[in-house]
């Protein structure tokens, strides 16, 4: 392949930057950094959520912690719980943050099995003696439970009447007729919401974590009413807002938050009960500042901090001995022993072992 | 074409790369970048993929190496369709990109408009379109109450709004949009190297524009076209964000499945097995494609 | 005799190209519209008008990762282009054992989801004791890896399409090998080199899946910052940030084009024959 061609005029490559200078400069900056750190106050790096969560967390937990202990906290708002754990695993426990402040029980379980999370007892975190009795058995002792939520049912109050039980969600055609077609949402099992909703479906059919067949049957039947499938809770929010999804399982905290923000939704606990979610936190084994990390976890369980954070974020507290909650808070949160007893928490070990198979079953049904 | 290796010309070849097997300069040119790739790409990937022969219990090493992960992924129809779909998307995107980018590339190279720089900038813009643009931009256009349906309803082409999302077609559209600039720049790059006088010559000999294009321009710019296709195909295969956003549970690809395994289910055994399958099958397909293309070029 | 620009094929070409440009700009214009939305709700057509989201997008909270991304991408572009050009010369002009192996090696980072490359590199750096690299240096390495195939590819295409007789002609006219390189080869393949640099810059600037794993609290690209916010919710601020993330690199490329004018790259037809 050839042709005659014209000569073109010469040109200059723009910007004569010396690559060597840049690399040397970068190396110098990298090497220089440790010297700076030694002169500044003690630091702690905390990883949690971003978005709306961040300012709440900073105001009610981070800044008070900085003030009380005279330290500086670097906040990292990236990653879902499982993404954070992927980083913990890839880095063999030294992911660059000292506290993984928002994990869920599956990650804590993995952390225990893989020895990537620090053991946490009343010695490291004294406030553990004040938490719900249930918190101590829910997860292996390499994490703490710092708040609770539950799987609520939410509905568009302008479009449909309130659902009564989980059956209204799983058999929407029977409850609402054809009008609700395409307006139901289903979550990918990557989200615990999906798993919990499926477990409730199994219970409707007389099954449970040990027998999920009723759930698959209900899912197959529900499919024709489902108009939206998303993975993360955040992805679902716009659909609630613009009225495209009328019925959904959703985390209580975010549901209440969005209701307060003006979304046309209402929130309730279904009459046939629901499954709770334990919000966990842990310290990776390779954390740079473990002592301060333990203090942080302990601080988070302090009554004042618990009160401030949970009121703003709309989650339920980690300890039963806080009594001066406002009435409207108490109406939708887990604050009494009775409520805690009524909440179902599945065996996380069983969940961990079955989750992969359940995910594949879900995918096969939804894809086919 | 081999040149006679004499005099100044011989020295020229020596500077640019020896045509005798492996001079020191060639080895240096190749060796350093290759070493970089080997150390920081091949070694890490191989290490990660070594998990594919272990049943995933996280970092604990349970029993002996086993091919059970591969067996699961290759025998279950769910994953077979995921693999096929990924290649379908890759090829579809490659074709759409090449088809759309050639006119644009040709126009940009041949136009004398003083807005050329701006138009090139416009062409590059999808490269910089972040996940936000793809989420809300395409969602707004393609959803049932969206702009496209509005247009179709208004012009009377359809009576009911169509469901574009989620679908494989939407994924192909979204990916083609994002990868179009690669096709354009690739084809522009080779159009640059072609002497426009050749086109003029052909037309002055009586050929129509179209025939000139088919017989002269296109063959000469084939490296750009195939380069663009291969690039679009490869990037479409590995794309995660667009299939995740514009697709749904019925349109999973290998990339979305790998991410699901690695970062959501935290099953690195299955995740790396799928990664190996993706890598091996894509390389095989590309190899076959290049061989087939090479055969045709040799025959021409 | 040059073809007339008012003939039918050229006009139909312009129409087709205009449609394709509409396709290109569609989602981008919509995102831009959302960024001016009066309310925090992400509806379209936008309700009301507000510049508040842009104000927030220009605050330090977003400017810091934006500047970091630009700096990183620029460095990656330079590294990748220089390395890629060297490699392209060797692959196109040289003949050596293992050439197809190297070519296949270059396909790897393109085909493999950057997510996998990111996890693999993170794990590897920790395993070999280079965990301090996580952050800027790790990102530089990771981005260079995924950008290298681009620069090699575009320079190789330019080299292949360039007729070899050009250099032979210059050499036979008495130019030294280095002179030929400087005054003939490099200008001719400049389009490919520039394209490769643009690709590398853009690919680095927009990468998110690899960056998640190699970023550190102080070294965070803007894409990771966007994702962090997006994982939790959406606000029109994100649309504004996306528009900024789109406009600035384009402006940069436009500025570079002042020094290396597009016209010279694109074989303007006004250029006289040799």
Q: What is the ipTM of this complex?
A: 0.82
**Number of domains chain A is built from:** 2
pLDDT per residue over A23-53, tens digit each?
Answer: 555 555 555 445 444 556 789 999 998 777 8
Instruction: Please give the DSSP secondary-structure letter assigned to residue A212.
Output: -
> Quick one: tokens of B200?
């003029």
Confidence of residue B63 (pLDDT cuts 50, 70, 90): low
Kindly list the distances between the CA atom of residue C29 and the CA atoms of B9, B128, B152, C35, in Å, as whole numbers in the listed order.
53, 13, 20, 10
Q: Residue C259 is nearest to which of A12, A83, A92, comparing CB atoms?
A: A12
Give how far C20 is from chain B: nearest CA, Å.
7
Give how far C50 is from chain B: nearest CA, Å.
18
Confidence of residue B192 (pLDDT cuts 50, 70, 90): confident
Q: Give percent of chain A with pLDDT exceeding 70.
A: 89
Nearest-Cα residue of chain C relative to residue A75: C217
> pTM (2 decimals)?
0.84
Give how far B59 is from chain A: nearest CA, Å.
6
Q: Which CATH architecture has domain B66-299?
A: Orthogonal Bundle (1.10)
Q: What is the mean pLDDT of residues C25-38?
A: 85
Confirm whether A13 is domain-assigned: no
In sequence order, the 6+-apart residues with CB closer than 8 A to the CB of C146 are C109, C110, C114, C117, C203, C204, C207, C210
Rounded Cα gap, residues C44 and B146, in angstroms: 9
Establish whether the linkage from the previous residue to B225 is cis, with ω within 30° of 0: no
Average pLDDT, chain C: 82
List of chain B residues whose C-beta atoms are within 8 Å of the C-beta of residue A356:
265, 267, 270
Specify the pairing of strand A99-103 against strand A43-47. parallel
Helix (H) or strand (E) holding A214: helix A213-222
Establish whether the linkage from the previous residue to B166 is cis, with ω within 30° of 0: yes
In sequence order, the 6+-apart residues with CB closer than 8 A to the CB of C42 are A238, A241, A242, B136, C34, C234, C235, C236
Domain boundaries, chain B: 20-53, 66-299
Q: Are residues A101 and A194 in the same domain?
A: no
CB–CB contact B38 C105 (8 Å): yes
Name residue A265's beta-bridge partners: A156
CB–CB contact C262 B117 (8 Å): yes
C-alpha angle B230-B233-B238 in degrees, rounded to nearest 5: 125
Nearest-Cα residue of chain C relative to residue B272: C116
Q: Are residues A119 and A46 in the same domain?
A: yes
Tell me whether C38 touches chain B (CB under 8 Å): no
Q: Residue A86 is nearest to which of B60, B244, B266, comparing CB atoms?
A: B266
Nearest CA to A107 out of A354, A284, A314, A313 is that of: A284
Confirm whether A23 is domain-assigned: no
CB–CB contact B248 A356 (8 Å): no
In sequence order, the 6+-apart residues with CB closer than 8 A to the CB of A118 are A124, A142, A282, A283, A284, A285, A287, A290, A293
Nearest-Cα residue of chain C relative to residue B179: C24
Dihedral angle sign, alpha carbons of residues A127, A133, A135, A140: positive
Q: Is the pLDDT at B98 greater than 60, yes or no?
A: yes
CB–CB contact B264 A190 (8 Å): yes
More confident residue, B17 or C18: C18
Residue C220, CB-side half-sphere exposure with 13 Å CA sphere = 22
- Chain B partners (3+ C-beta pairs within 8 A): A, C
Q: Residue B198 is nearest to which of A3, A110, A113, comparing CB atoms?
A: A3
CB–CB contact C148 B141 (8 Å): no
Tell me whether A26 touches chain C (CB under 8 Å): yes
Domain boundaries, chain C: 60-265
Q: Cβ(C46)–Cβ(C37) under 8 Å?
A: yes
Q: Is the pLDDT at A11 greater than 70, yes or no?
A: no
Q: Cβ(A281)–Cβ(A301) under 8 Å?
A: no
Q: What is the mean pLDDT of residues A7-16?
A: 34
Give how far B183 is from chain C: nearest CA, Å.
11
Q: Is A250 helix (H, G, I), strand (E, B) or coil?
A: strand
Q: Cβ(A358)–Cβ(A189) under 8 Å?
A: yes
CB–CB contact A367 B262 (8 Å): no
Range of the domain at A359: 150-276+348-367
Lowest mean pLDDT among A74-83, B20-29, C23-32: B20-29
Tell me whether C232 touches chain A (CB under 8 Å): yes
Is CATH 1.10.3720.10 the right assignment for the domain spanning C60-265? yes
Name residue A344's beta-bridge partners: A275
Name residue A229's beta-bridge partners: A186
Q: Residue C44 is nearest to which of B117, B134, B140, comparing CB atoms?
A: B140
Return phi, psi of residue C12, to 5°. -65, -35
pLDDT given for residue C209 in this prediction = 87
Q: Are residues A325 and A355 in the same domain?
A: no
Q: CB count, 10 Å around CB of B74? A: 14
Tell me whether C179 touches chain B (CB under 8 Å): no
Q: Are residues A43 and A88 in the same domain?
A: yes
Q: Is the pLDDT at C270 greater than 90, yes or no?
A: no
pLDDT given for residue C43 in this prediction = 57
Confidence of residue C187 (pLDDT cuts 50, 70, 90): confident
Lowest mean pLDDT among B44-53, C123-132, C157-166: C157-166
CB–CB contact A6 B267 (8 Å): no
Supply the Cα-derived Rg of chain B in whole angstroms: 24
CB–CB contact B248 A229 (8 Å): yes
Confidence of residue C199 (pLDDT cuts 50, 70, 90): confident
Rounded Cα gap, residues B90 and B233, in angstroms: 5
- Chain A partners (3+ C-beta pairs within 8 A): B, C
Confirm whether A211 is domain-assigned: yes
DSSP output for C96-129 = -TTHHHHHHHHHHHHHS-HHHHHHHHHHHHHHTT
Give how far A104 is from chain C: nearest CA, Å.
16
Dihedral angle sign, alpha carbons of residues C230, C232, C235, C240: negative
Indicate which of C59, C209, C231 best probes the interface with A, i.e. most A CBs within 10 Å of its own CB. Answer: C231
List of chain C residues whose C-beta atoms are within 8 Å of the C-beta of residue A6:
267, 271-274
List of chain B residues whose C-beta atoms are within 8 Å of the C-beta of residue C42:
136
- Chain C partners (3+ C-beta pairs within 8 A): A, B
CB–CB contact C78 A232 (8 Å): no
Q: Cβ(B67)–Cβ(B147) under 8 Å?
A: no
Confidence of residue C196 (pLDDT cuts 50, 70, 90): confident
Lowest mean pLDDT among A38-47, A178-187, A226-235, C132-141: A38-47
List of chain A residues whose C-beta atoms are within 8 Å of the C-beta of residue C41:
241-242
Q: Residue B48 is nearest to which of C7, C116, C191, comparing CB atoms?
A: C116
Rounded Cα gap, residues B255 and B252, in angstroms: 8
CATH number (domain holding residue A248):
3.40.190.10
Q: CB count, 10 Å around CB of A220? A: 12
Give how far B262 is from chain C: nearest CA, Å.
8
Rounded Cα gap, residues A120 and B242, in angstroms: 41
Q: Residue B128 is nearest to which of C17, C245, C269, comparing CB atoms?
A: C245
Lowest mean pLDDT among A25-39, B7-21, C31-45, C77-91: B7-21
List of chain C residues whose C-beta atoms are within 8 Å of the C-beta of residue B259:
113, 115, 209
> Quick one: tokens of B280?
């091996």
pLDDT given for residue A28 in this prediction = 52
Q: Is C169 helix (H, G, I), strand (E, B) or coil?
A: helix
Residue that has been written with the tokens 């050329």 in this structure: B116
Nearest CA to B210 out of C268, C267, C3 is that of: C3
Kindly list the distances between the CA atom of residue A45 and the CA atoms of A56, A95, A290, B185, C209, in Å, as whole numbers in the listed order.
17, 10, 11, 43, 22
Q: Are residues A109 and A217 in the same domain?
A: no
């Amino acid at each position: 392949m050839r042709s005659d061609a014209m000569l073109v005029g010469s040109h200059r490559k723009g910007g004569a930057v010396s690559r060597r200078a840049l690399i040397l400069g970068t190396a110098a900056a990298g090497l220089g950094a440790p010297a700076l750190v030694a002169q500044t106050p003690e630091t702690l790096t905390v990883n949690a959520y971003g978005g709306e969560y961040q300012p709440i967390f900073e105001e009610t937990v981070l800044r008070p912690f900085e003030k009380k202990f005279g330290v500086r906290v670097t906040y990292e708002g990236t990653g879902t719980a499982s993404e954070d754990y992927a980083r913990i695993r890839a880095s063999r426990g030294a992911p660059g943050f000292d506290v993984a402040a928002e994990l869920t029980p599956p990650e804590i379980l993995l952390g225990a099995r893989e020895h990537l999370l620090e053991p946490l007892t009343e010695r490291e975190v004294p406030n553990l003696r004040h938490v719900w009795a249930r918190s101590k058995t829910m997860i292996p002792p390499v994490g703490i439970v710092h708040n609770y939520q539950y799987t609520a049912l939410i509905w568009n109050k302008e479009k449909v009447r309130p659902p009564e039980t989980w059956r209204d969600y799983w058999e929407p055609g029977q409850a609402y007729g054809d009008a609700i077609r395409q307006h139901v949402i289903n979550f990918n099992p990557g989200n615990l919401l999906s798993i919990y909703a499926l477990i409730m479906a199994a219970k409707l059919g007389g099954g449970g974590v040990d027998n999920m067949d009723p759930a698959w049957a209900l899912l197959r039947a529900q499919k024709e009413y489902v108009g939206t499938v998303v993975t993360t809770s955040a992805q679902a929010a716009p659909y609630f807002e613009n009225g495209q999804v009328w019925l959904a399982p959703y985390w209580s905290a975010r549901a209440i938050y969005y209701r307060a923000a003006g979304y046309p939704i209402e929130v309730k606990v279904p009459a046939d009960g629901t499954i709770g979610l334990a919000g966990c936190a842990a310290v990776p084994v390779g954390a740079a500042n473990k002592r301060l990390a333990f203090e942080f976890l302990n601080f988070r369980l302090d009554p004042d901090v618990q009160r401030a954070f949970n009121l703003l974020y709309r989650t339920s507290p980690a300890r039963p001995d806080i009594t001066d909650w406002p009435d409207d808070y108490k109406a939708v949160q887990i604050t009494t022993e009775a409520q805690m007893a009524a909440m179902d928490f599945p065996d996380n070990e069983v969940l961990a072992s079955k989750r992969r198979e359940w995910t594949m079953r879900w995918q096969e049904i939804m894809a086919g | 074409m081999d040149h006679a290796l004499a005099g100044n010309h011989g020295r020229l070849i020596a500077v640019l790369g020896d045509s005798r097997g492996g001079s020191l300069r060639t080895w240096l040119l190749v060796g350093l970048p290759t070493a970089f790739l080997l150390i920081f790409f091949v070694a890490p990937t191989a290490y990660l993929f070594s998990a594919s022969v272990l049943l995933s219990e996280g970092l604990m090493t349970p029993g002996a190496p086993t091919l059970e992960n591969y067996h699961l992924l290759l025998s279950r129809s769910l994953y077979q369709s995921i693999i096929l779909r990924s290649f379908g998307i890759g090829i579809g995107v490659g074709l759409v990109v090449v088809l759309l980018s050639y006119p644009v590339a040709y126009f940009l190279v041949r136009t004398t408009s003083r807005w050329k720089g701006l138009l090139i900038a416009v062409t590059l813009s999808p490269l910089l379109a972040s996940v936000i643009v793809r989420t809300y931009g395409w969602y707004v256009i393609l959803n049932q109450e969206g702009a496209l349906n509005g247009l179709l309803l208004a012009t009377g082409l359809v009576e009911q709004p169509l469901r574009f999302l989620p679908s494989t077609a939407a994924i192909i559209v979204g990916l083609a949009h994002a990868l179009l600039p690669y096709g354009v720049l690739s084809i522009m790059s080779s159009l640059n190297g072609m002497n426009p006088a050749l086109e003029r010559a052909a037309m002055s000999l009586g050929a129509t524009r179209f025939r000139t294009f088919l017989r002269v321009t296109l063959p000469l710019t084939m490296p750009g076209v195939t380069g663009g296709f291969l690039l679009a195909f490869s990037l479409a295969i590995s794309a995660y964000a667009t299939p995740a956003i514009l697709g749904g549970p019925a349109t999973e690809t290998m990339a979305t499945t790998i991410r699901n395994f690695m970062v959501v289910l935290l099953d690195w055994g299955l995740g790396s097995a799928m990664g190996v399958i993706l890598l091996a099958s894509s390389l095989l397909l590309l190899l076959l494609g290049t061989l087939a293309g090479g055969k045709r070029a040799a025959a021409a | 005799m040059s073809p007339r620009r008012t003939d039918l094929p050229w006009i139909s070409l312009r129409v087709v190209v205009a449609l394709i440009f509409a396709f290109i700009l569609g989602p981008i214009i919509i995102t831009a519209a959302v960024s001016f939305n009066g309310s925090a709700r992400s509806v379209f057509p936008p309700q009301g008008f507000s510049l508040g989201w842009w104000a927030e997008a220009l605050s330090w909270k977003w400017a810091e990762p934006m500047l970091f991304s630009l700096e990183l991408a620029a460095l990656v572009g330079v590294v990748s282009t220089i390395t890629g050009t060297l490699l392209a010369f060797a692959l196109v002009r040289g003949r050596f054992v293992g050439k197809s192996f190297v070519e296949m090696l270059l396909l790897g980072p393109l085909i493999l989801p950057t997510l996998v490359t990111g996890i693999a590199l993170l794990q590897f750096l920790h395993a070999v004791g280079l965990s301090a690299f996580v952050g800027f240096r790790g990102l530089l390495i990771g981005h260079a890896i995924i950008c290298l195939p681009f620069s090699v590819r575009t320079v190789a295409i330019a080299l292949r399409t360039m007729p070899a007789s050009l250099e032979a002609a210059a050499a036979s006219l008495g130019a030294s090998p280095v002179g030929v390189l400087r005054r003939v080869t490099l200008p001719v393949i400049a389009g490919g080199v520039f394209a490769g640099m643009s690709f590398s810059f853009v690919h680095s600037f927009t990468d998110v899946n690899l960056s998640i794993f190699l970023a550190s609290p102080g070294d965070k690209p803007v894409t990771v910052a966007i994702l962090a916010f997006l994982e939790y919710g959406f606000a029109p601020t994100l649309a504004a940030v996306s528009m900024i993330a789109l406009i600035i690199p384009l402006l940069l490329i436009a500025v570079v084009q002042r020094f290396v004018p597009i016209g010279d790259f694109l074989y303007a037809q006004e250029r006289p024959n040799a």
